[in-house]
Structure 1
Amino acid sequence: MSTSVVESSSPPPAVKSVIRPPSVAADAFFAEFASTLPRSEAASLVVTHLLPGQMNFLPALGKVAEVRAVLPKPKSADRRTQDLMSETYRLDPVDRGRFADPEWLAPYLQDRADGRPMVLADIGGYFAPALAEVCQTLPGLIRGVVEDTENGLRRYLALPELPCPVYSVARSPLKEPEDRLVGEAIVFSVETLLRRLGEVMPGRNATVLGFGKIGAGIAAALHARHVRVTVYDRDPIRQAQAVATGYGRAALHDSLAHAELVFSATGNRAIGMEELAWLRDGAYLAGATSADDEFDLAGLASPRSGFTREDVVPGIARYTRDGRSFSLLGSGNAVNFLHTSAIGPAIHVIKAEIIAATALLVTLPHEPGMYEVPHQTRTEIAAAWLDAFQPTAAPAPSRAAATEGAVL
């Protein structure tokens, strides 16, 4: 008897799918990534959004520096996710006023870290105001800070000098997909709110204030929904980028006066009480960051403002004065968090960079200053993320290969 390969004239084999469900892929990605990093005796305290689909990074971070407290940002804490995380981690409230007080913050950090060196993972510069005095009070215990956002990075850069090393991932190329998707999430949330009122986006005029990464994402998402977009940015370079991309340009007063939808994505309090008078009657106003970063509207609550407030539907408050009105969405906070700001697996790649920065802080000596994760490390993170979430599909074995060596 002889052996032979069975030849087949059937069509080429189908591609075998190796895509895993997102949560399974995320867990596997972080477990594999953490296995490549050194362990330490250090502790970490983590300011974070507490949102579904975004918390898979915490176990991996804990293997590098034990997570001693999770500090949910107050405007972006999903109740169900919060309950789930509380089963594993200590959840502490975060408050800018208290965190700016070194006499409160230093004992708090010392207690949570239990005397061990610690890394502070930050979103929004919460630790910046008191950092210098805390580092003096706890010499050698603050190994460094890892900051996630542009607004937070600005707060650390504004310090007279940095008392410890600070890693920023805010301007990392790995964060760019997240920022664009945040823009999409913001537009999705505004569209969802409009539909509750029986209104739609196509055909409207919109103004985007700020053409940074998130502002550019907002503009692109609006354009995809057939909205006419005008961009206003005080930086001539960014304004030129917006015009070259195809968006309209107008002075701030005119851009507000003609817009039915206004998206503020500057992080620099672009709209205050004076600018409210420039808004088109009936306009909708939405923010892309925290209300205290995006707007200066504390005066709205004062009877002297002359505004009356009506809660139209959850998430939309209409303010009226002298027969004219505008609607503030999400109380002025980042409107995407009304709908959990789902952005998919892109969030995990930047969380991995945060973990990598933490590992560098706890294993290598650093002088005080501003740092970024090395390019090679970012490349390795990106490659691992691709393998986890977009693996190269492998062809299923053909019938011929499967029967090779069979006895005929």
Structure 2
Amino acid sequence: MDAEDKSLAEAGERRVDWALRSMPVLRAIGARFDATRPLDGLKIAACLHVTAETAVLVGALKAGGAEIALAASNPLSTQNDVAAALREYGVAVHARAGVDRDTYYRHIHQALDIGPDIVLDDGCDLVNILHTERVELLDGVTGGCEETTTGIIRLRQMAAESALRFPVVAVNDTRTKRMFDNRYGTGQSTLDGIVRATNTLLAGRTIVVAGFGFCGRGVAERAKGQGARVIVTEIDPVKALDASLQGYEVLPMAEAARTGDLFITVTGNRDVVRAEHLAEMRDGAILANAGHFDVEIDVRALEELAVTVNLGVRPHTDEYVLADGRRLLLLAEGRLVNLTAAEGHPAAVMDMSFSAQALAVAWLAEERVRLAPGVYDVPAEIDAEVARLKLAAAGIEIDALTTVQADYLRSWRLGS
């Protein structure tokens, strides 16, 4: 290894060590895996954000006996120093920051070349390629885990069409992840990325949040806490009602487009902000996506409307000048603003998500031969164990049911 690579790997090790300080649950699971080796002999192909927090997860899985090949789930979120450190640690990493679309998919193919027994995905791109372009590997894959909402949507559709060939655990759908990762993590890291990219003042601004799921709720809460006026757009009547009852203004995007200063998409769907919306936006409006793929904001329509594009007016900020002189600012090329312009979720958040992921992988290793193809929830006992470990690490104690209380909850014969 030359001096430049060595220096990069050392910087990555320092970044991973810093993340480790805030990930006590995953540290404990890694120590348990090292002692029990639940993943001995397994090959894992993973398509995840290549960050320091992911490196801690990979370390825990490797301690459990797994051989791992890792590709990036987003070409703009890769931390090259972390990738270098993982290679030094013996992990086959196929990722580099800023690669083009073709290279991104080539890296996923290279990760799959390991011939995986289990796959880990964040957005379903790896699973999609397995089922469309690398079908020769499918017979060897006996299980998988999916990390994000967008991926779960795609997987459930595959299962509904009987196209999914192996069992996949919906790590995204645990109570701990939805609460800690989606709500608090996405809420904080999204605004962090926007502020880093633009240095804009949020107080007093009108922020339009598209989507009021767990992620959108977290973004709206953090924006409101910063003093912003928040407008929510939704297609789900129940979520729209929830937003309204929490005090947010609820409007269709066509109306919100005329008044918003900052637009944040958090839906997991495509074309949420379209040409007709862009045509209505005021000069200086900022466009950011925190909903995984770069399809929520119609970037192609924005390019067609623009007469001039000024790339990099600030890091991760591109300015599109329209024919009437209005300027629209697109952050992170329409990709995940929190992982491109910032560092993603704090390590303390990913401690919860990746702990559930690690325990789900160990559960899959034991149960996969008995599971039919389909999408499975993480066992409730795993979710509860992660929460208990996190509370213990924080020094927080809670009550336990008395025998009388437990009997009362189990009995239907006792009246009020």
Structures share fold, TM-score greater than 0.5: yes
Q: Secondary structure at the match of 2:209?
A: strand
In 2, are the aligned partners of 1:99 and 1:127 still within 8 Å (CA)?
A: no
Match of 1:221 in 2: 222
1:319-334 to 2 correspondences below 5 Å: 319-321=320-322, 322-334=324-336
TM-score normalised by length of structure 2 = 0.79
Which residue, out of 191, 194, 198, partners 1:190?
Answer: 194
Which residue, out of 355, 361, 376, partners 1:371?
Answer: 376
Higher relative contact order (CA 8 A, sep 6+): 1
CA–CA distance in 1 between the matches of 2:105 and 2:193? 32
Alignment partner of 1:179 is 2:173 = no
Match of 2:170 in 1: 168
Match of 2:299 in 1: 297
CA–CA distance in 2 between the matches of 1:135 and 1:141? 11
Question: 1:214-261 CA deviation, whole Å, 9 max, x = no partner?
Answer: 111110111111101010111111111111111111222111110111
Corresponding pairs, count:
362
In 2, are the aligned partners of 1:70 and 1:90 still within 8 Å (CA)?
A: yes
Q: Secondary structure at the match of 1:293?
A: coil
Which residue, out of 348, 353, 360, partners 1:350?
Answer: 353
Match of 2:277 in 1: 275
Please report the RMSD computed on the Cα atoms of aligned residues, expressed in angstroms.
2.8
In 1, are the aligned partners of 2:130 and 2:137 still within 8 Å (CA)?
A: no
In 2, are the aligned partners of 1:144 and 1:361 still within 8 Å (CA)?
A: yes
Question: 1:337-380 CA deviation, whole Å, 9 max, x = no partner?
Answer: 21212423121122121122212222222111111121112212
- Cα distance 1:200–1:332, how it changes in 2: closer, same or farther (>3 A)? same
Q: Out of 143-152 and 158-167, give the one that drifted further.
A: 158-167
What percent of counterpart residues are identical? Answer: 25
In 2, are the aligned partners of 1:30 and 1:57 still within 8 Å (CA)?
A: no
Match of 1:157 in 2: 156
In 2, are the aligned partners of 1:356 and 1:373 still within 8 Å (CA)?
A: no
* Residue 100 (structure 1) shift: 7.9
Match of 1:235 in 2: 236
CA–CA distance in 2 between the matches of 1:77 and 1:245? 36
Match of 1:403 in 2: none
Match of 2:391 in 1: 386
CA–CA distance in 2 between the matches of 1:326 and 1:139? 45
- Cα distance 1:68–1:188, how it changes in 2: closer, same or farther (>3 A)? closer
CA–CA distance in 2 between the matches of 1:26 and 1:136? 36
In 2, are the aligned partners of 1:231 and 1:250 still within 8 Å (CA)?
A: yes
Structure 2: stretches of 5+ with no match in the other structure: 1-18, 398-416
* Residue 29 (structure 1) shift: 2.1
Q: Secondary structure at the match of 2:354?
A: helix
Higher helix share: 2
CA–CA distance in 2 between the matches of 1:226 and 1:99? 39
- Cα distance 1:223–1:108, how it changes in 2: closer, same or farther (>3 A)? closer
In 1, are the aligned partners of 2:209 and 2:232 still within 8 Å (CA)?
A: yes
Code of the aligned partner of 1:296: D
1:246-261 to 2 correspondences below 5 Å: 246-261=247-262
- Cα distance 1:51–1:130, how it changes in 2: closer, same or farther (>3 A)? closer
Match of 2:117 in 1: 118
Between structure 1 and structure 2, the one with the greater Rg is 1
Structure 1: stretches of 5+ with no match in the other structure: 1-19, 393-408
In 2, are the aligned partners of 1:230 and 1:255 still within 8 Å (CA)?
A: yes
CA–CA distance in 1 between the matches of 2:295 and 2:37? 35
TM-score normalised by length of structure 1 = 0.81
CA–CA distance in 1 between the matches of 2:102 and 2:118? 21
Match of 2:126 in 1: 127
Runs of 4+ in 1 over 6 A off after TM superposition: 94-101
Code of the aligned partner of 1:152: G
Code of the aligned partner of 1:265: V
